[in-house]
Amino acid sequence: MSTHSVQALMLGKIAYGDKAHILKLWTRPFGIQSYMVHSVRSGRSGWRPALLLPMTALEAVVTHRDKGQLEKISEVRATPLWNHIQRDPVGQTLCLFAAEVLLKTLKAGDSTPDFYDDVVEMLARWDQPGTSYAMAAVELLALVAHHLGFALDPSHYVEGWAFDLREGLCAPAPLLHPEGLSPEATGALMRWFSDPRLVPAKGLRQELLDGLLTGLRWHHSSMGEIHSLEILRGLSA
C-alpha cells in the first residue's frame, strides 16, 4: 500500500449505492484510475459539486493498494486553473466532450505525464477570456490522434496532399480508399496548426471533426459513439 499526492483531471463519476460514487480521474503520474468515495453529496466529504465537473483540475492524496481493488482518496482540493470555461454552456460541453473522448481512448493505468501536460495547456488556452471555441473540439481530437501516433503536423505535409485516416499520415491525393480527409480540409488544418488565426470555414471544421473521430475509431475499435457530440453540435450551430 502506498500514498501519493497527485495532480488529476476529473473525467466522470458513477453512482455506487445511495451514498458512494466511483470517480474516474486521470492522474498525471498513474494515468486513469478509479477511486471510491463516500458521501459525495454531503459537505463532510470535501467533495463540493464543482469538483465533480468534467475536466476539473484537482490535487488529491490517494492510496493505492495494488490488489485489483478500487483505490481511495483521503484528501482533495481544486486547483484554481479554470476561471471561464466551466461557466460557459459551450465551454462546459467541450469539457464533457473532452472527458468522454479521453475516457474512451486512453488505457486505464497508463502513465502519460507529457500528454497530460499537453491537455492541461490546451484547457488553459480554452479558458482565456474571449477565446473562440470554433476549433476547440478539432484541437482536442488532433492532440489525441498525435498522442496515439498519427503523423498529424505540418512537418509531414505537402501542399495538395490528403490525410489518410487509416494509415495516420499525409499522402498524395487521391487516396486509394475513402477513409481520409479531403485535400481542402487537410490543408486548412495544417494552415491552422501554423497560424491559429486561420480558422477553417464551418464546413471544413465539420469534416475535420467527423473525420478525426472516424480515424480514432479506426485505430481504437472499442471507442464507440461519443454521446456529448450532438449536444456540442447543437450549441455550436
Angle, helices 89-105/113-126, rounded to nearest 10 degrees: 170
What distance in Å separates the CA atoms of residue 173 and residue 184, rounded to the nearest whole number? 11
Cell, residue 216? 480514432
Cis check for the bond before 200: say yes or no (omega within 30 of 0). Answer: no
pLDDT for res 16: 85
What pLDDT was estimated at residue 235?
Answer: 73
Q: What is the pLDDT of residues 78-100, one digit of tens each?
A: 887 898 998 899 999 999 999 99
Q: Where are the domains of the chain?
A: 2-78, 85-236
- pLDDT on residue 85: 93
What per-residue confidence (pLDDT) applies to 46? 63
CA 137 remoteness from chain centre = 9
CATH T-level topology, domain 85-236: de novo design (two linked rop proteins) (1.20.1440)
The pLDDT assigned to 41 comes to: 56
Q: What's the pLDDT at 236?
A: 67
Nearest-angstrom CA–CA distance, 172 and 63: 51
pLDDT at 169 (0 to 100): 95
Topology match between the domains 2-78 and 85-236: no
DSSP state of 217: H
- Cβ neighbors of 230 (< 8 A, separation 6 or more) are none
Q: How far is CA 236 from CA 90, 114, 128, 143, in A?
A: 7, 30, 18, 20
pLDDT at 39: 63
Mean pLDDT per segment of 10 residues, for the chain of length 237 residues? Answer: 91 86 93 83 64 92 76 83 89 96 93 96 93 94 95 93 96 95 98 96 96 92 89 77
Domain 2-78 has CATH 2.40.50.140: yes
C-alpha to C-alpha distance for 72 and 82, rounded to whole angstroms: 25
